[in-house]
């Protein structure tokens, strides 16, 4: 049965569904300004980036003496290749290693070391036995022996390794273990 239309009343007034409005979509979410969580995340990210840059600069600056020592060690080898003077190389190497050690370690711990104590210090500061065994034993008394055989290439390699790897932490670990 069809609904009867009453006179004077429009068709839409009689049909309640006709009075409904169309579905409204929500407004677009604005991308600016970001939510507070994003501000915190950005601040944290910026702090991390700044901390990494400061750490890298300090690390680079603190190891400048190592880079200079590596260049000087390279110059020592170049001089040796030109002059083939083993004893001059050995003396220059000893001086270079001592200067590097005095730069990094307390003067009272390093300045008076010679011979076996010096070689043991070099070993302990890298946590190795590179200087007390093999070709590098010449550092103990090579400056005082006229017939010492010196393997410059081996000394160069181990000295470069020591310049790159020496650290106070190795000595502290040994002190704690003792």
- Prior bond of 119 cis (ω within 30°): no
What is residue 85's DSSP assignment? -
Tokens of 80: 């040796």
pLDDT in tens, 51-82: 999 999 999 999 999 999 999 999 999 999 99
Q: Which residues contact 164 (CB under 8 A, 6 or more apart)?
A: 66, 70
User: Three-state SS string across 142-177, please?
Assistant: CCCCCCCCCCHHHHHHHHHHHHHHCCHHHHHHHHHH
- Answer positive or negative: Cα dihedral of 107, 113, 114, 118: negative
Cα distance between residue 129 and residue 132, in whole Å: 6
Structure letter (DSSP) for residue 1: -
pLDDT in tens, 90-133: 999 999 999 999 999 999 989 999 989 999 999 999 988 888 88
Q: What was the pLDDT predicted at 173?
A: 64
| pLDDT band at residue 40 under the 50/70/90 scheme | very high
């Amino acid at each position: 049965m069809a609904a009867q239309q009453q006179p004077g009343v429009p068709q839409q007034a009689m049909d309640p569904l006709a009075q409904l409005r169309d579905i409204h979509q929500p407004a677009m979410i604005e991308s600016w300004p970001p939510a507070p969580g994003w501000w915190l995340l950005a601040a944290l990210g910026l702090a991390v980036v700044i901390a990494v840059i400061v750490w890298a600069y300090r690390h680079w600056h603190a190891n400048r003496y190592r880079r200079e020592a590596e260049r000087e060690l390279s110059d020592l080898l170049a001089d040796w290749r030109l002059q083939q003077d083993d004893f001059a190389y050995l003396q220059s190497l000893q001086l270079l290693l001592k200067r590097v050690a005095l730069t990094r370690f307390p003067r009272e711990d390093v300045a008076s070391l010679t011979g076996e104590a010096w070689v043991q210090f070099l070993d302990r500061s890298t946590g190795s036995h590179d200087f007390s065994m093999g070709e590098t034993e010449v550092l103990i008394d090579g400056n005082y022996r006229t017939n010492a055989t010196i393997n410059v290439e081996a000394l160069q390699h181990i000295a470069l390794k020591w310049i790159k790897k020496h650290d106070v932490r190795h000595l502290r670990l040994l002190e704690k273990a003792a």
